[in-house]
Amino acid sequence: MSPDLIAALNKQANRELSTSNLFRTLAYWADAEHLGGFAKFFATQAEEEEDHAKKFYQYLTDRGTVPSVGPVEAAKTSYEGLLEIANLLYAHERENTKCIHALYEVALSTKDYATQVFLHAFITEQVEEESWTDKLLTKVKQTACGGALFSLDRHISKELLGSD
């Protein structure tokens, strides 16, 4: 693979790992706020993002490059509430889509067909990530008043992904 493509793949791998770190932190934040549903949901997202990072690292290895794992910056630990988090995740996933597309451009310009195919799953995954973060933002805005937050917390996984 071209050095540019290797660097771009490694950068995205570390971005996936740092996204996992962010979700892991949000899971602990939600737990501390006694929002058990969100804690579970964010923990599941943390695992999913770690899986994404591992897929990139394994792909680099399979193509003959030992990946440079990390370092990962710590996510911030204090948030005003779920609205701040929902806004942050909405922006984060849209930014991530741009990063995946930029990486795909490198695979196109270097004519690396295997990497293009490898990235298709991530391009598709971003459609799902943008969709649930959009729903999350809408739902959190709807809970601005009353006990609606506790009901959302109980059903968050089902609301966003259709599964408990």
Considering Cα of 62, then 64, then 65, then 69, what sign does the dihedral take?
A: positive
Residue 97 near residue 131 (C-beta atoms within 8 A): no
Residue 56 near residue 12 (C-beta atoms within 8 A): yes
The residue range among 42-50, 63-71, 72-80, 113-121 that interacts with Fe ion, by the rule CB under 5 A, is: 42-50
Q: Which is nearer to Fe ion, 2 or 99 (CB)?
A: 99
Q: Is 24 in the site for Fe ion (CB under 5 A)?
A: no
Q: How far apart are CA 139 and CA 37, in angstroms?
A: 14
Token duo for residue 53: 């990072």
The residue range among 5-13, 49-57, 61-69, 102-110 that interacts with Fe ion, by the rule CB under 5 A, is: 49-57
Q: Is 52 in the site for Fe ion (CB under 5 A)?
A: yes
Token duo for residue 47: 């695992």
The residue range among 22-30, 50-58, 85-93, 144-152 that interacts with Fe ion, by the rule CB under 5 A, is: 50-58
Which residues contact Fe ion by CB under 5 A?
16, 49, 52
